Structure 1
């Protein structure tokens, strides 16, 4: 297993560590623009396209090393994964938010076809449920 700096969470500058209410109170114009889907450097941080610029090459380099019919598992943060998916699918950046958030412990599945990458599953999976009789 390798750790890659390119797969880190989106850097949100001065928004880092703030609650949604604090961000709205301190940066109302930036927040409003971001909420409308405009490309915004939240708190002076990264644009979604910059996150894709640093994360997608990590994924593509790993894919190149896979054996035939191999599987690559990429673990990262929801926002970073969303930008990777959008870029790999060739979508315009203003459409990436349409994927919605990626819930904790869930995953997306992409596959390569003759016409490029395809989204096979998004936000899939559930947390394990207790088995009947395992109650303590």
Structure 2
């Protein structure tokens, strides 16, 4: 069996969801609205920062939304990395449904809400299309991974639905197969390793938490 050399050591991509917000706790649709981490979310971010630092990442990118930036701050301190913020790492936009509690959404349109809960986000007429989220997420994550040298680890702080869609797309799954993945926990992370000598990615871990 051929030994792995430094020039063909696999690169690693870590996708980290933000910590809890009061809206997460209350079951309110956030989308791209600006919502801060709550006390639990800030504690989660501090705890996950130490776990991320143990991975020795060389680059740290982050969504420009407040809850992601606030999660990224302790990660930046723990790793000594200066984060780069990119709007392409944002959550889905859910348009007119943003700000609704789940109860309010269900009362407004029960059938549409049931589809939303199943991850069929295109059922929401004012939502950003899943295909568009897939393109922007995979484009920015490939750019991030391409900046890594062989054997390096890079981290992107993003959002639950966007990460779920991106995971399936980066693995080359059929469009709807991402529904087989459960939703990420707050400050849960995904690990994708590049196959040595190729750009193909393999799922190493999903929804890992501290």
TM bucket (normalised to shorter chain) is 0.7 to 0.9
Select which of 191, 198, 201 maps to 1:109.
Answer: 191
Select which of 121, 125, 146 maps to 1:64.
Answer: 146
Identify the residue that residue 133 of structure 1 maps to in structure 2. none
**SS, match of residue 85 in structure 2:** coil
Structure 2, unmatched stretches of 5+, are: 1-82
Matches within 5 A, 1:30-69: 30-35=112-117, 38=120, 40-69=122-151
Relative distance call for 1:20 and 1:43 in structure 2 (3 A) is: farther
Relative distance call for 1:10 and 1:37 in structure 2 (3 A) is: closer
**In structure 2, distance between residues paired with 1:4 and 1:104:** 20
Contact 2:122 2:129 in 1 (8 A): yes
Following TM superposition, the consecutive aligned residue runs of length 4 or more in structure 1 with deviations greater than 6 angstroms are none
Alpha-carbon deviation of 1:109? 0.3
CA RMSD of aligned residues (A): 1.8
**In structure 2, distance between residues paired with 1:29 and 1:8:** 26
Identify the residue that residue 203 of structure 2 maps to in structure 1. 119
**In structure 2, distance between residues paired with 1:55 and 1:115:** 16
**SS, match of residue 44 in structure 1:** coil
Select which of 170, 176, 179 maps to 1:94.
Answer: 176
Structure 1, unmatched stretches of 5+, are: 127-136
Greater relative contact order, per chain length (Cα 8 Å cut-off, separation 6+):
2
Contact 1:55 1:84 in 2 (8 A): yes
Alpha-carbon deviation of 1:35? 4.5
Contact 1:86 1:96 in 2 (8 A): yes
Contact 2:187 2:209 in 1 (8 A): yes
**SS, match of residue 155 in structure 2:** coil
